[in-house]
Amino acid sequence: MIKIKNLYKKFKDFEALKSINLEINDNEVVILKGVSGSGKSTLLSLIAGFDKPTSGVILIDNEPISKLPDLHLSRFRFKNIGFVFQNFNLIKNLTPLDNILAPLIPYEKSLQKAQKKALNALKVANIEHKAKEIVANLSGGEQQRVAIARAIINSPKYLLFDEPTANLDKNNSLLFLDLVKKLKNLNKTIIIATHDPIFDKLEVEFKTIKLEDGRVYE
């Protein structure tokens, strides 16, 4: 479970988040909705531990991640959180397989085991047939699936998506909705920051949390 208590985030003179209090249950799908600048991407980044709040607490399975030292936080994130960036953040001149193997290098001593994990993640994301292509040659939808495979490589409990359909056409956006259903069936807790109305078509139970001017309006 994720618990957020009295969370604030300030950038110089700008308050991006104001008094956020939330609870997200295990195996729940949560849609963070709001226009650009509403604070949803900032909130997602804080939950992932990429940034620290100005004040307040974020508890993930009772672990206060906002207070962890950077090294411990990095290890915690690797084991528990998968993050898919809006622009995917892939190394374009490498293959999907190499992109997925890279994060495992500090943690997995056996190359054979690492490759097995990577190929299984590609299979779950329905992109194993492109494992040895160069990423730069893949479509936007295919690159997103590679990014998802990288996010699930270590079987994290929590999956976070920042504007996942922003760079996709309608057909690939609908394919992404199908993948969300598949990931939920794998008992993942999923948080999606978006302003895309296509998520109203999501065929799984989900909770919508609306952010406006850095505040939550449920």
Dump pLDDT digits (tens) for 54-84: 999 999 999 999 888 988 898 899 889 999 9
Are the beta carbons of 149 and 100 closer than 8 angstroms? yes
Look at residue 74 and tell me if it is in a domain: yes
How much is the mean pLDDT over the chain? 92
What's residue 104's pLDDT? 81
User: What's the distance, CA 126 to chain centroid?
Assistant: 18
Q: Is the pTM of this model over 0.85?
A: yes
Range among 5-9, 37-41, 114-118 with highest mean pLDDT value? 5-9
Q: Which domain holds residue 16?
A: 2-91+139-217
Residue with tokens 């953040």: 89
Look at residue 98 and tell me if it is in a domain: no
pLDDT > 80? residue 108: no
User: What's the DSSP call for residue 203?
Assistant: S
pLDDT > 80? residue 106: no
Distances (CA, A) of 24 to 31, 77, 125: 11, 17, 24
Residues 26-41, mean pLDDT to the nearest whole number? 93
Look at residue 199 and tell me if it is in a domain: yes
Number of domains in the chain: 1
Look at residue 153 and tell me if it is in a domain: yes
Query: Which are the contacts of 62, defined by CB distance < 8 A and separation ≥ 6?
Result: none
pLDDT > 90? residue 91: yes
Which phi and psi angles does 165 have, rounded to 5°? -105, 5
What's residue 23's pLDDT? 96
Angle at CA 82, nearest 5°, toward 65 and 88? 125
* Residues above pLDDT 90, as percent of the chain: 73
Grade residue 218 by pLDDT with cuts at 50, 70 and 90: low
Look at residue 195 and tell me if it is in a domain: yes
Neighbours of 60 (CB within 10 A): 23
Look at residue 17 and tell me if it is in a domain: yes
Look at residue 83 and tell me if it is in a domain: yes
List the CATH number of the domain containing 57. Answer: 3.40.50.300
Query: Which are the contacts of 179, defined by CB distance < 8 A and separation ≥ 6?
Result: 125, 126, 145, 148
pLDDT > 90? residue 13: no
pLDDT > 90? residue 27: yes
Look at residue 67 and tell me if it is in a domain: yes
Amino acid type, 140: G
Q: Residue 202: is it exposed, middle or buried by C-beta count within 10 angstroms (0-12/13-18/19+)?
A: middle
Are the beta carbons of 165 and 193 closer than 8 angstroms? no
Task: Select from 159, 162, 158, 122 the least CA-distant residue to 143.
Answer: 122
